[in-house]
Chain A
Amino acid sequence: MARIGVFVCHCGENIARTVDAGKVAEDLRAHPGVVHSEDYKYMCSDPGQALIKQAMAEKGLTAVVVAACSPHMHEKTFRRVASASGLNPFLCEMANIREHCSWIHEDRVRATVKATDITRTIVEKVKYNQALDTIRIPVEKRALVIGGGIAGIQAALDLADGGAQVILVEKESSIGGHMSQLSETFPTLDCSQCILTPRMVEAYQHPNITLYAYSEVDAVEGYIGNFNVTIRHKARSIDESLCNGCGACTQVCPNKKIPSEFDCGLGKRTAIYVPFPQAVPNLPVIDRTRCARFLARARKITKEVCAKCADACTRGAIDFDQQDRLTTERVGAIVVATGYQLYNVGKSQPAGLKGYGEYGYGTIPDVIDGLQFERLASASGPTGGKILRPSDGKEPKTIVFLQCVGSRDSEKGIEYCSKICCMYVAKHTMLYKHKVHDGKAVVFYMDLRAAGKGYEEFARRAIEEDGAVYLRGRVSRLYREGDVIKVQGFDTLSGEPVVIDAEMVVLATAMRSQPGIEALAQKLSVSYDQHGFINEAHPKLRPVETNTAGVFVAGACQAPRDIPDSVAMASAAASKILGLFSKDQLEREPTVAMVNASLCAGCFHCERVCPYGAVEHLEIRDRKGVLVKVVAQVNPGVCQGCGTCEATCPSKSVELQGFTDQQIYAEINALNL
């Protein structure tokens, strides 16, 4: 016979204002199976918990119902209390009379009746509760980091320093990401390369890190602690074990006019190339879409075309017949750190976005974006760090910077703030003024958002010490007139239209998610927002976890992030994973689906509807080893307990532990409808 204790919480005034907790406790006292019922001001407080423990000891309770807030809030607390008193924690349940009752009602009498009803349903449910045991699953203490930008490098280094084995996968031929393209960084103006390249080398040489550059994640299977990842090693056309990075091949390549991606089209590269001198690993790659040999091969020309790179290579490392290679790695946790791309200002746009035809980007050569300006300002850039116009190589004496190009403009399809632009535009004006002393920097801004340590001071320095002119307002159009670019804008502070003759215009374009991020997110079963940014599990309390256990997120693939943010997120993700790896086994809540193999007909409807891929096939054999039937089996490590399979099963052979049909029916019957 059940001996149930009911504990009704006032939650200060939160519940007691609209629900008569004493009356609820009194009504429940007479309910069959209830041997103890009382109310208290704060059940979750130490004295409240002591009341529960005392009643359990005195009355020998077989189950506990706490009528209080949402189970999300305090289920763990009260189950711990039950457990400490020797009761299986899953025999303790919560009746939510706060979010589901007191907070949403005003009529005290009727709210009290409803609170009693809610509590009674849970009392009826708990009569059928079974003692459940925590699930334990093994952990593979290796981590996969996807993306070799600053976030990925930081996560990999922190993990590796913590003793974990790390696999770092980067889709480009070198790690470094966007940060390697930057000239100097805000708010300290330290050189980006100088602080990044040592970390790149460290990641490459770390004994615990295996770097796979020019590789992508092809498929992900498994679950927290036990992922199987297929990695595609794209064909570099270089034998990595032979190449010593001498660069002789790039010297002789005849195709020298290809716009360099690293220099944002402002510089040129060859068809076999190393993206930048400090590349890690320092290995060239053949661009098969540009190399004459591969183009000829694609056109089915059998004659031998150009093999100058192979001829120049003293080590025979050039391999024109190299194929993509697939390998499988077993890891326990994954960090997604795939970074961002910039919004393209021009006319052609992906679905859902619109361009700025009025800014002439792509038609006026001296209208460039922020990343292009970084390349111009970079000492290793196409101009050797001199600010020169792309059109005629002259030094521009007036540069106009436009903030919020794309960002905060729902008309163009991007309503969010890209966060970094206010600061990097301030930095650009300073870099420009430090290089061109008689130059004039004009900034059109909407708001100056400089929230961050030292950020406001930095922006003020740009204005007060370096004389950047900030005009609050938008620019309606840019057009070329002779040698200058006419900037037609509106100064909303003076209320006057302004026309500025600029010699160069820099557009601070919005940050967008990487192309192909949706496909990767689907492989990892993590959710993403309408802009393609990976969703964190909780915007405040779980910022680097995703909705899939064991998959973490760091850097600008989650939202626009600057370098300090990205690094902080990466370290946070690494510490989460090191915490995960500190145990040999993971503990999981046992509220997962179970299949009754004797009832299961093997239709596998459950397998098709399971969003987590938790349903497996189990062969039932008799004693002689003859196959009797194939039934469904739920992998408790993967199952998230959503119950979709239970609702789908035609033979009612799947049940969600802790939420069985019997328990749900008992709850419904208790309502006496």
Chain B
Amino acid sequence: MRIGYYPGCSMHGTSREFDESLQQVARAIGAELQEIDDWSCCGSSSAHPVSRRLAVALAARNLALAEAQGLEEVVAPCAACYNRLAGARHAVAEDPALAREMPAILGRPFANGVAVRNVVQLLRASAPAIGQKISRPLKGLKVACYYGCLLVRGEGVAEFDDTEQPTSMEEVVKACGATPVKWNMAVECCGGSFSISRTGSVVRLGRVILEDARKAGADLVLVACPMCHSNLDFRQQAMMRRGESGMPILFITELVGLSLGLNGRPLGLERHFVSTAPVLAKLADAAGQPQKEAH
């Protein structure tokens, strides 16, 4: 299974651990990720407030490249990249006039024939395979699945799950042997890119999310978006009240990696700001043996 890989700006930078764990998990489930050669920025949140055509074209360029490189589908791990790429694909499919002018704007042929998926979709499709391959069932681990605002949203764009009560991350978590908790903040906003311009807002929003996860008895919050991760992990120090312990924020690929028996370091678990040690310790307790891995 050869799949195009669009890392976007974060996967090689701030969320290296997402990239590292994705590569590990992909190898384990037999998915061959081929990075799109000469990929460029998806347009992020800066392009579309300025110009719809620019925003579509920036994302479409990467899809056109994938097409030329013989890829039938592209996985974009970042929720924002996924949203832009899938959004561009949807916009071009819905608007024949836009589709006609795209090749001229891009300076290359563009048939809009590449499917765009995110990591949750990829893992959910492989959930039965993961279920068979797990060597370390994450029994007893309580997981709050956090989708954030973008992953399942966009009318007609991301239609792989319900926008208000999504369940696909829970399916993956169950396949890993862990227990998803019932909680209320699964599709709330983490503040996104306001992390820098309005840190106070991000802290306020993040605190609500983490508090609810804590109340639901979660051992960790599971994410599938670099932005969500950086807001909830990097900014968590500011969200914590006196005496509170940290809430580990794991990428979904890290959790799947753990269940597949992979160790913490290759999965990037030591790169987090909030220590992931409690998660590993709980797993070790459940397995009844001391955890050798230290970081």
Q: Which of B134-142, B157-165, B171-179 contacts its partner?
A: B157-165
> B162 and A347: CB pair below 8 A?
yes
Contact across chains for A357 and B162 when beta carbons are under 8 A apart: yes
Considering the chains assembled together, what is the distance between the CA atoms of A356 and B184 in angstroms?
15
Q: Which residues of chain A are near B162, meaning CB under 8 Å? A: 347, 357
Q: Which residues of B contact A347 (CB under 8 A)?
A: 162, 165
B184–A357 touching, CB < 8 Å: no
- Cβ of B215 within 8 Å of any chain A Cβ, yes or no, is yes
Question: Does A357 lie within 8 Å of B215, measured CB to CB?
Answer: no
- B164 near A481 (CB under 8 angstroms)? no
Give chain A interface residues in 448-482, CB to chain B under 8 Å: 477, 479-482
Cβ B164 vs Cβ A477 within 8 A: yes
B164 partner residues in chain A, CB cutoff 8 A: 356-358, 477
Min CB gap B186→A, angstroms: 10
Among residues of B, the one whose C-beta sits closest to the C-beta of A346 is: B165
Nearest chain B residue, comparing its CB with the CB of A481:
B184
In A346-405, the 8 Å CB interface with B consists of 347, 356-358, 360, 363
Chain B residue contacts of A363, Cβ below 8 A: 165
Count residues of B near A (Cβ-Cβ below 8 Å).
7
Residues of B within 8 A of A480 (CB): 184
* Bound Cα distance from A480 to B215, whole angstroms: 12
> Could you tell me the distance between the alpha carbons of A482 and B215 in the complex, rounded to whole angstroms?
9
**CB closest residue in chain A, given B211:** A481
A477 to B184, CA, bound (A): 10
Residues of B within 8 A of A358 (CB): 164-165
Chain A, interface SS category: mixed
Say how far A165's CB is from chain B's closest CB, in angstroms: 53
A477 to chain B: which residues have CB within 8 Å?
A: 164
A10 to B168, alpha carbons, bound, how many Å? 72
In the complex, the answer to whether A479 meets B184 with C-beta atoms within 8 Å is yes
The CA of A357 and the CA of B163, in the complex, are separated in Å by 8
| Residue from the set B163, B184, B212 with the largest chain A CB neighbour count within 10 Å | B184
Specify which chain B residues have a CB less than 8 angstroms from the CB of A479 in the assembled complex. Answer: 184
Contacting residues of chain A (477-500) with chain B, CB-CB under 8 angstroms: 477, 479-482, 486
Q: Mark B187-212, 1 if CB is under 8 A from A, else 0.
A: 00000000000000000000000001
Given the complex, which residues of A lie within 8 Å of B163, measured CB to CB? Answer: 357
When distances are taken between beta carbons in the complex, the residues of chain A under 8 Å from B215 are: 481-482
Tell me the bound Cα distance from A116 to B165 in angstroms. 68
* Closest chain A residue, CB of each to CB of B183: A479
Residue of B nearest to A411 (CB): B155
Tell me which residues from 608 to 655 in chain A have a Cβ below 8 Å from any Cβ of chain B. Answer: none
A255 CB to nearest B CB, Å: 31
Among B162, B164, B212, B215, chain A packs the most CB atoms within 10 A around the CB of B164
- Which residues of B in the span 202-228 have a Cβ within 8 Å of any Cβ on A? 212, 215
Within 8 A of A (CB), among B123-175: 162-165
Question: What distance in Å separates the Cβ of B158 from its nearest Cβ neighbour in chain A?
Answer: 14
Binary contact track B98-110/A, C-beta < 8 Å → 1, others 0: 0000000000000
Interchain nearest-CB distance for B164 vs A (Å) = 3
CA distance A363 to B162 in the complex (A): 15
Q: Which residue of A lies closest to B216 (CB)?
A: A481
Closest to B163 in A: A357
Distance from A570 Cβ to chain B, minimum over Cβ atoms (Å): 40
Note all chain B residues with C-beta closer than 8 A to A360: 165
Nearest CB in chain B: distance from A612 CB, A:
41
Contact pattern, A 210-227, Cβ under 8 Å of B = 1, otherwise 0: 000000000000000000
From B215, which residue of chain A is reached at the shortest CB distance?
Answer: A481
Give A479 to B163 CA distance when docked, in angstroms.
15
- Give the docked Cα–Cα distance between A477 and B215 (Å): 19
Taking CB atoms, residues of chain A closer than 8 Å to B165 are 347, 357-358, 360, 363
Q: How far is the CB of A652 from chain B (nearest CB, A)?
A: 46
CA of A347 to CA of B165, assembled, Å? 8
The listed residue with most B CB atoms (<10 A of its CB), out of A356, A479, A482, is A479
- Shortest CB-to-CB span from B272 to chain A, Å, is 28
Which residue of chain A lies nearest to B164 when distances are taken between CB atoms in the complex?
A357
Give the complex CA separation of A480 and B163 in angstroms: 18
For the complex, give the distance between the alpha carbons of A363 and B182 in Å.
Answer: 11
CB distance from A409 to the nearest CB of B (A): 13
Residues of the A chain whose Cβ atoms lie less than 8 Å from the Cβ of B184? 479-481, 486
Q: Looking at the assembled complex, report how far the CB atom of B244 sits from the nearest CB atom of chain A, in whole angstroms.
A: 18
Kindly supply a per-residue 1/0 record for chain B positions 8-51, scoring 1 wherever the CB is within 8 Å of any chain A CB and 0 otherwise: 00000000000000000000000000000000000000000000
Which of B162, B165, B212 is most buried by chain A, counting CB atoms within 10 A of its CB? B165
Residue ID in chain A nearest B166 by CB atoms: A357
Convert B248-280 into 0s and 1s, putting 1 for each residue whose CB lies closer than 8 angstroms to a CB of A. 000000000000000000000000000000000
How many Å lie between the Cα of A611 and that of B33 in the bound state?
A: 60
Task: Please give the distance in Å from A196's CB to the nearest CB on chain B.
Answer: 38
Nearest Cβ on chain A to B214's Cβ, whole angstroms: 12
Q: How far is the CB of B11 from chain A (nearest CB, A)?
A: 30
Minimum Cβ distance to chain A for residue B218 (Å): 15
Query: Given the complex of chains A and B, what is the CA–CA distance between A225 and B164 in angstroms?
Result: 53
Q: How far is the CA of A481 from the CA of B215 in the complex (A)?
A: 9
Q: Give the chain A neighbours of B212 by CB distance below 8 A.
A: 481
A358 to B212, CA, bound (A): 16
Instruction: Give the distance to chain A from B78, nearest Cβ to Cβ, in Å.
Output: 25
Give Cα A609–Cα B212 distance, bound, in whole angstroms: 64
- Cα distance, A363 to B212, chains bound together (Å): 18
Bound together, the chains give a CA A358 to CA B184 distance in angstroms of 10
Alpha-carbon distance A486/B163, docked complex (angstroms): 19
A360, B162: Cα distance in complex, Å: 13
B75 to chain A, nearest CB (A): 26
- A182–B215 Cα distance when bound, in Å, is 39
- Give me the interface of A with B, judged by CB distance under 8 Å: 347, 356-358, 360, 363, 477, 479-482, 486
Q: Which 10 A-B pairs have the closest CB atoms?
A: A357-B164, A479-B184, A357-B165, A358-B164, A357-B162, A347-B165, A347-B162, A481-B184, A357-B163, A480-B184
- A-B residue pairs in contact (CB < 8 Å), sample of 13: A347-B165, A357-B163, A357-B164, A357-B165, A358-B164, A358-B165, A360-B165, A363-B165, A477-B164, A479-B184, A481-B184, A481-B215, A482-B215
16 extra A-B contacts, CB within 8 A, seeds A347-B162, A477-B164, A481-B212: A347-B165, A356-B164, A357-B162, A357-B163, A357-B164, A357-B165, A358-B164, A358-B165, A360-B165, A363-B165, A479-B184, A480-B184, A481-B184, A481-B215, A482-B215, A486-B184
